[in-house]
């Protein structure tokens, strides 16, 4: 079964063609990062306009590179939540128009479920159940993935997301957008212990995260140093931040594994590209005898391939979208879109 997947929830206009949720035939991404870098972050209105400009080209290029024609496509899938609402609407409406014009089913996909599914493309043997960590610019989540579409939330952030924390501190340090990856580069070889940062703990809820304390402490360290004319060691601070955030993520992953007896761990989302996190996960899983799956860096960030992969499993579960399917800025990962035949 051939699925065309379309992603436009933030600042990447992306489309991919994937067979049976596993075999990637094409993967086209137009990144708007350079444009948003001028403003230090994503400007939603600009993002929507750029998606509208690029979507036709990106989708036709995905079909061309996969060597498939619209007639060969069995399902059209698109991200419908969560994300920037104007941005989501561009990709979802384009997908609905394709489905309508080609007389194919349309499948709405949850963006975070898509991030998990990036791993199905890279690892043919990977099957639920497992514990997943999804850490991106807007979300931080530990989930018990019981099957491809049955997902239980075990822990979320009470305030900022992990990626948002990286980005905010990077911005205050004067690093260009997108800050997370630049902070990661800066942290290489830094002393993780030089700057003490608060822990991301929430009293009474060992699975929850709170990153606002780390963010505020990092920002205050930089501002205080500036005001008192002291030099801050940027590399050591970057290393300390990476360590604090990664430790919080990794410790809850292992707790979730203990609570559920699951021995397979999956990492996903833009922050899963972080080198400190990848190292801690690799070492921690190896010492506990847990099997770890992490996508290559190219599939950690937003892409159409992950939407095509999850779209396949949603379709198999009967989750075909309605013609009036809307998009939502927020939607829990365990909620289902409304189901109904397209026409």
Q: In the range 177-216, which residues lie near ligand KG4 by CB under 6 A?
A: 178-181, 184
Which tokens sit at 240?
Answer: 């300390």
Backbone angles phi, psi at 76, to 5 degrees: -110, 120
**Tokens for 341?**
């035949």
Residue 8 binds which one of Zn ion, ligand KG4, none, with CB within 5 to 8 A depending on kind? Answer: none
- Answer for which of 13, 79, 136, 192 binds Zn ion (CB under 5 A) is 136
Q: Under the criterion CB under 6 A, does residue 301 sit at the interface with ligand KG4?
A: yes
Q: From the list ligand KG4, Zn ion, none, which binds 108 (C-beta under 5 to 8 Å, kind-based)?
A: none
318-to-146, 314, 322 alpha-carbon distances in Å: 17, 6, 12
Minimum distance between the CB of residue 167 and ligand KG4, rounded to whole angstroms? 5
Give the residue, chosen from 91, 105, 108, 137, that forms a contact with ligand KG4 under the rule CB under 6 A: 137
H runs (alpha helix) in 27-123: 33-37, 44-66, 85-102, 111-122
* Euclidean distance between CA atoms 168 and 185, whole angstroms: 16
**CA of residue 51 relative to chain centroid, distance:** 18
CB of residue 139 to Zn ion, shortest distance in Å: 8
Tell the smallest beta-carbon distance from residue 14 to ligand KG4 (Å). Answer: 10
- For residue 166, the minimal CB distance to ligand KG4 (Å) is 4
The stretches of 199-322 forming alpha helices (DSSP H) are: 212-227, 234-260, 275-288, 305-316
302 binds Zn ion (CB under 5 A): yes
CA–CA gap between residue 205 and residue 83 (Å, rounded): 27
CA atoms of 47 and 61, how far apart (whole Å): 20
Given candidates 160, 247, 302, 314, which one binds ligand KG4 under the rule CB under 6 A?
302
Residue 148 touches which of Zn ion, ligand KG4, none (Cβ within 5-8 Å per kind): none
Say whether residue 8 binds Zn ion (CB under 5 A): no
CA dihedral over 270, 180, 49, 86, signed as positive or negative = positive
Q: Which two tokens stand for residue 137?
A: 């610019």
Give the integer Cα–Cα distance in Å for 324 and 255: 41
Interface stretch with Zn ion, choices 17-25, 73-81, 274-282, 294-302 (CB under 5 A): 294-302
**Position 136 contacts ligand KG4 (CB under 6 A):** yes
Choose the contact partner of 84 out of ligand KG4, Zn ion, none; CB within 5 to 8 A by kind.
none
**How many Cβ atoms are within 10 Å of 188's Cβ, its own excluded?**
12
Among 7, 27, 160, 167, binds ligand KG4 (CB under 6 A): 167
Question: Considering the rule CB under 6 A, would residue 138 count as an interface residue with ligand KG4?
Answer: yes
Find the shortest distance in angstroms from Cβ 219 to ligand KG4: 16
Q: Point out which residues bind Zn ion (CB under 5 A).
A: 136, 302
């Amino acid at each position: 079964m051939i699925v065309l997947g379309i992603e436009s929830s933030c600042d990447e206009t992306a489309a991919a063609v994937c067979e049976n949720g596993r075999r990637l035939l094409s993967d086209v991404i137009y990144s708007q990062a350079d444009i948003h870098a001028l403003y230090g972050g994503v400007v939603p209105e600009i993002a929507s306009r750029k998606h509208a400009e690029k979507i036709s080209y990106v989708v036709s290029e995905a079909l061309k590179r996969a060597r498939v024609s619209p007639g060969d496509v069995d399902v059209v899938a698109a991200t419908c939540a969560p994300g920037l609402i104007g941005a989501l609407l561009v990709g979802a409406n384009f997908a609905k128009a394709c489905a309508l014009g080609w007389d194919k089913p349309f499948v709405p996909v949850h963006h975070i479920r898509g991030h998990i599914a990036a791993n199905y493309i890279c690892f043919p043997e990977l099957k639920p159940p497992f514990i997943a960590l999804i850490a991106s610019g807007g979300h931080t989540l530990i989930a018990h993935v019981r099957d491809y579409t049955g997902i239980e939330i075990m822990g979320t952030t009470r305030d900022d997301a992990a990626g948002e924390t990286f980005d905010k501190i990077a911005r205050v340090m004067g690093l260009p957008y997108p800050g997370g990856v630049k902070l990661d580069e800066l942290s290489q070889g830094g002393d993780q212990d030089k700057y003490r940062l608060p822990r991301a703990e929430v009293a009474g809820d060992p699975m929850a995260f709170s990153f606002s304390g780390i963010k505020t402490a990092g920002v205050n360290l930089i501002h205080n140093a500036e005001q008192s004319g002291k030099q801050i060691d940027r590399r050591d601070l970057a290393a300390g931040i990476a360590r604090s955030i990664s430790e919080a993520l990794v410790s809850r992953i292992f707790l979730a594994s203990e609570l559920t007896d699951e021995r397979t761990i999956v990492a996903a989302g833009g922050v899963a590209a972080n080198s400190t996190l990848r190292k801690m996960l690799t070492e921690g899983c190896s010492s506990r005898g847990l099997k770890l799956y992490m996508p290559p860096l190219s599939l950690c960030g937003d892409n159409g391939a992950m939407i095509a992969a999850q779209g396949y499993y949603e379709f198999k579960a009967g989750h075909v979208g309605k013609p009036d399917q809307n998009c939502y800025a927020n939607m829990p990962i365990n909620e289902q879109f409304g189901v109904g035949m397209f026409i």
